Amino acid sequence: MSRDILRGDRLKRLAPESIEYTASTSFDGILVKPVVKINMAHMAMLINQGVVSRAQGSLCLKGLREMPETLQLDPALEDVHMNVEAFLVKKIGGNAGGQLNLAKSRNDQVATAIRMALREYQVNIVSELADLRKTILDRVGEHITTLMPGYTHLQHAQPTTLAHHLIAYQDALQRDSKRLIEAYSRVNLSPLGAVALASTSVKINRELTRKLLGFDGLVENSIDAVSSRDFAIEVISDLALAMTNLSKIAEEMVLWSSSEFGAMDISDGYASTSSVMPQKKNAVVAELIRGKTSTVYGDLMASISMTKALPYSYNIDLQQLTPHIWSACSITFTSIQVLKGMLQEAVFNKERLRKLLEEGAIAATDLADYLAVEHSIPFRTAHTVVGNLVRRSVDEKRAFRNVILEDLAGAAKDIAGVEVSITPSEVDQILDPEKSVELRTVDGGPSSISVKKMIVNRKKGVNETEEWASERRRMLEAANQDLVKTTDELIGGEKA
Ligand code: ARG
């Protein structure tokens, strides 16, 4: 194909090494469908406004309908926009086809197409996140009484339950989902009609194209409309945060499935072995979630830095930004999918988690709380008393329980000046992780009462997200139907 439809009589041929260098065709595939729809909506609007005759316009519309979704994009034509136009001109001739870009530029068209492809990804990612959250909540339901050590600094901290721990995953992912939903209101706005930058004197109707393309409003200022990509950078940063949360979960899966932890078995579908060490079972999927997170951070850095020094309005640096949007979207979407499967099939080792609780002095805080509440020792002093007992237990290799029974009275007297006597059954109560957990009935705590409350509330949250996604899908589909109907009528009742 010749590139003359663009360069016309103005420029000679592009240098061969500039062709691939400047083309966006290698990553424009995702924009074919939106670009075709934009052209249809734009042409329908031009006919409606009496700017283009119905005869010419409907010829364009018919041609656009015959555009293959898998249109082969020729790099010599620079991008998807020129490829679509060239296809049409070739099909229906330059008289009608040549009207396609009246009062429309690649600048407003590409911004519009990106927003259309992005909003679809957003809905899909949010709905995939809802599935993942549901999976997590199912696992939560199975493990309300599964005790485990809670960690800080990766050291045993306090007893908790697996359900409590897993709800923390859910809650982080719920925030990720909310961020993406909030960003949708800034993504789903139509830049179309901004044309190159200064709009047009042609009597277009931006409101009509907005409606036909399923946008909720306009990016009003025509210069802003073609210059801005902050809507996409906002989504990429939301995705970078979501990946951070997925990566933290993945990291725990790698750790917990190690022989040192032995707290979880990852199913074979998400593991690999070594080409030389046949005993190995490596959590490769989880490791790659961690690794791919860095790629998304790269997408964020690349795109945010690409825009910081751009003069207004359109500069083709913006073309270089676009593939980073799809990279971040596709990595996040697939990472959510694999993590969901992995969590569905993971087998938690309840016995091992329970056993881990018995090591060390995980009930130390409970003992300090007991001294503070029952014996009116100021908490900081109680903390010192218990710390003293823990040190003795470690240094003298004595069981923490024995140290409490034998040394607590003395330590409390020496350090706090308080008489404390404690019976073996009181010690057993304090050291019992089940009791410790069940006493934490505060909102957000690990007791089964608190956890069950959280489950009910979280399930409601998942339902709300699912409703949002299906409502958005319904609205986009309705706009699509409207576009088909409008073009049908203009073509003369013919179906696509
Ligand atoms: N391929 C371009 C992009 O992705 C489309 C806009 C080109 N505009 C221009 N004036 N060269 O941004």
What would the pLDDT profile of 278-303 be if each residue is shown by its tens digit? 787 899 999 999 999 999 999 999 99
Coil, helix or strand for 151? strand
Q: Separation of 140 CA from ligand 1 center, angstroms?
A: 48
What are the φ and ψ backbone dihedral angles of 432, each rounded to 5 degrees? -80, 110
Write out the catalytic residue numbers. 153, 274
Q: What is the pLDDT of residue 4?
A: 64
> pLDDT tens digit string along 140-160?
999 999 999 999 999 999 999
Q: Same CATH fold, 108-196+217-356 and 16-102?
A: no
- Alpha-carbon Rg of the chain, whole angstroms? 31
The CATH number for 16-102, chosen from 1.10.3720.10, 1.10.760.10, 3.40.50.300, 1.10.275.10, is 1.10.275.10
Ligand 1 atom 11, closest CA: 316
Q: Separation of 32 CA from ligand 1 center, angstroms?
A: 14
Alpha helices in 376-447 (DSSP H): 379-395, 400-411, 424-431, 433-438
- Which amino acid is located at 96 in the chain? A
Q: What is the pLDDT of residue 2?
A: 47
Q: What is the pLDDT of residue 277?
A: 81
Ligand 1 atom 4, closest CA: 319
User: Which residue among 21, 118, 319 is best mutated to probe the pocket of ligand 1, counting the most ligand atoms within 8 A of its Cβ?
Assistant: 319
Cα-Cα-Cα-Cα torsion 224, 228, 230, 232, nearest 10 degrees, comes to 130
Give the binding-site residues of ligand 1, using a 6 Å CB cut-off: 24, 79, 81, 106-107, 110, 314, 316, 318-319, 322
Cα(246)–Cα(355) distance, integer angstroms? 27
Ligand 1 atom 3, closest CA: 319
Where are the domains positioned within the chain? Answer: 16-102, 108-196+217-356, 364-431
Q: Separation of 106 CA from ligand 1 center, angstroms?
A: 6
Ligand 1 atom 2, closest CA: 319
Q: What is the pLDDT of residue 494?
A: 45
Distance of CA 457 to the CA centre of its chain: 21
Within the chain, which residues score under 50 in pLDDT? Answer: 1-3, 494-496
Q: Separation of 278 CA from ligand 1 center, angstroms?
A: 52
Atom of ligand 1 at shortest range from CA of 106 = 6
User: Which residue among 5, 22, 107 is best mutated to probe the pocket of ligand 1, counting the most ligand atoms within 8 A of its Cβ?
Assistant: 107
Distance of CA 420 to the CA centre of its chain: 53
* Burial profile 410-449: b = 16 or more Cβ within 10 angstroms, e = fewer: ebbeebbeeebebeeeebebbbebeebbbebeeeebbbbe
Does an H or E element contain 199, and which?
none
CB 43 within 8 A of CB 61: yes
CB 382 within 8 A of CB 368: yes
Atom of ligand 1 at shortest range from CA of 314 = 10
Q: Separation of 112 CA from ligand 1 center, angstroms?
A: 12
Count CB neighbours of 360 within 10 A: 15
pTM for this predicted structure: 0.95
| CATH architecture classification, 108-196+217-356 | Up-down Bundle (1.20)
* Burial profile 186-213: b = 16 or more Cβ within 10 angstroms, e = fewer: bbbbbbbbbbbbebbeeebebebbbbbb
List beta partners, residue 217.
189
DSSP letter string over 35-94?
Answer: HHHHHHHHHHHHHHTTSS-HHHHHHHHHHHHT--TTPPPPGGG-SHHHHHHHHHHHHH-H
